[in-house]
Amino acid sequence: MQDYNFNEYFDRFPLAMAYVPWQHLTQIYEDLDKAFCTGTIFPELTKPFTGRRCVK
């Protein structure tokens, strides 16, 4: 069974590949109405638009 280890040995990862860190089931919004409005049940994946970048 695959164990998605929290310790990822990035210095051993082969070059020329794209990686994202594994998500672990650490946090889920308790308030599911809030999760629905946010667009995800995972607080770690909540990255709202702040209006920055590409704006002069």
Partner 1 sequence: MNFKMNTEQENMLHDISVVDFVTVEMAEYLDTHPMDREAMEYFNHYMRMKNQMMRDYANKYGPLSLSVADNSCKEWKWALQPMPWEGGC
Partner 2 sequence: MWNYEKRLQYPVKITQPNAKLAQVIISQFGGPDGELAASMRYLSQRYTMPFNVAGLLTDIGTEELAHMEMISAIVYQLTKDLSMDEIESYGFDKYYVDHTLALWPQSAGGVPFNSCFFQSKGDAITDLTEDMAAEQKARSTYDNILRLIHDQEICDPIRFLRAREIVHFQRFGEANREDCSELV
Residues near partner 2 (CB under 8 A) are 2, 4, 14, 17-20, 22-23, 36-40, 42, 45-49, 51, 53-55
Q: Do the Cβ atoms of 3 and 21 come closer than 8 Å?
A: no
Q: Which does 28 bind (CB under 5 to 8 A by kind): partner 1, partner 2, none?
A: partner 1
- What's the maximum distance between 2 C-alpha atoms anywhere in the chain? 50
Q: Does 17 contact partner 1 by CB under 8 A?
A: no
Q: Do the Cβ atoms of 31 and 22 come closer than 8 Å?
A: no
Say which amino acid occupies 55: V
- Name the site residues for partner 1 (rule: CB under 8 A): 1-2, 4, 23, 25, 28, 32-33, 35-37, 40-42
